[in-house]
Structure 1
């Protein structure tokens, strides 16, 4: 392989690693650190600029510079861990650059999420558990279970139909509050506020808020502010959905 083709492969490999991590919800500084470590393992002097919506990577003045767009972002910590594993193996010379690129392409194509029915079920279970953490009545657990499961189902359906994240979260929180309200009015629930709070917990952007703070602390102000804004809009969408039901009530 010529040096030009090797540099081209390295550029594609580093960008793919960064793309997977950003699309899976990794912190900006972690993405940059992973890409630069992989570059140093190939004796390349790389420079990168990472934002939540795109990555710019250059291998030097005499080499190509590439830009890749990040169009969608989810939370998939397992994919981030898999990319870190590839990075470590490449740095330790356990695998070659070609093998690293093939592994990254496999990671990108693979869906590591649990089956949808299990995601909905675990969302319902977590909502019921959150009710106890918030010192709610044990008798309200079935209502919180149903509200959390229905809300997450509504989130998945609206994401599939509209592809608009904030509207999906708004609709999901509306469904959670509506189910909680119906449960209380029909006598199957007692504390409306705690049922609603427990039901929307699976929708809360906890990792997004954490990453925003960590990016700000690491000096990535643009990424930190962008993620913080996204978290605020998500929280606003959740609050608006609940507020409509409470206002009608």
Structure 2
């Protein structure tokens, strides 16, 4: 009976941790959520080790060990919040272990997300408003809005259709540089630099960088270094994309 119970508990714990890491949660929150479920599921002295690419867990009493690979990563803080709330509902006794397992399966298959049209509009709005905040002119508001939206769609399309990490950031940055240069050349924008800076902002890896710092400060050095490296490569890809356009102008 203990073995069956621990197997169910470990399935729930690993699924919860995987969903949170895939959705961009920092490791301190993942660690807290997984141990909360384990303690309230009755697992004695659980041993859990999580990284950005996998989770390992052992239940010493029943000598069970499980490994859960993590093959994708994105940013979905609402999903992180939902999984965390499920763990608190389980702790409060509002749902059973079996109910939580079923809820996690449903959540993984029907995770809420915004339509790409809304994502593009949000990226465009961020590009234009940040361009003005950084000292750009209002005359460049519309060019930054359009270029930011188009470049984000290119980034999303490459990530979705081809799943090539870092190339999507590079090509989106190249498109930003080209469109900004053309807009300035044809007098549709007055300052290429400010338009490009605004359009780049939705691509900047802010959440991975923030999580990298939080992981390092929380003692999760391996995950922190991995996320920091990923954020650095993304930033370099964006910079190289703009540099390529400037080099050949």
Deviations 1:187-232 (A, max 9, x none): 0101111111100100000000000000000011111100000000
Unmatched runs of 5 consecutive residues or more in structure 2: none
Aligned residue for 1:57, secondary structure, equals: strand
Counterpart CA distance in 1 for 2:113 and 2:160 is: 16
Preserved CA contact (<8 Å) 1:49 1:55:
yes
Aligned residue for 2:166, secondary structure, equals: helix
Preserved CA contact (<8 Å) 1:146 1:179:
no
Counterpart CA distance in 1 for 2:17 and 2:50 is: 8
RMSD: 1.0
Preserved CA contact (<8 Å) 1:51 1:222:
yes
Match of 1:139 in 2: 139
Instruction: State the 1:106 CA deviation.
Output: 1.2
Match of 1:15 in 2: 14
Q: How does 1:63-212 map to 2 (within 5 A)?
A: 63-212=63-212
Aligned residue for 2:56, secondary structure, equals: strand
Q: How does 1:18-37 map to 2 (within 5 A)?
A: 18-37=17-36
Deviations 1:76-123 (A, max 9, x none): 000000001100000111110001111111111113111111111111
Deviates more, 1:110-119 or 1:193-202: 110-119
Counterpart CA distance in 2 for 1:61 and 1:86 is: 25
Superposition TM-score, scaled by structure 1 size: 0.97
Instruction: State the 1:29 CA deviation.
Output: 1.8
Runs (4 or more) in structure 1 with deviation over 2 Å come to: none
- Paired residues, number: 248
Unmatched runs of 5 consecutive residues or more in structure 1: none
Instruction: State the 1:4 CA deviation.
Output: 2.1
Counterpart CA distance in 2 for 1:130 and 1:165 is: 26
Counterpart CA distance in 2 for 1:12 and 1:29 is: 20
Aligned residue for 1:67, secondary structure, equals: strand
Preserved CA contact (<8 Å) 2:79 2:111:
no
Aligned residue for 1:174, secondary structure, equals: helix
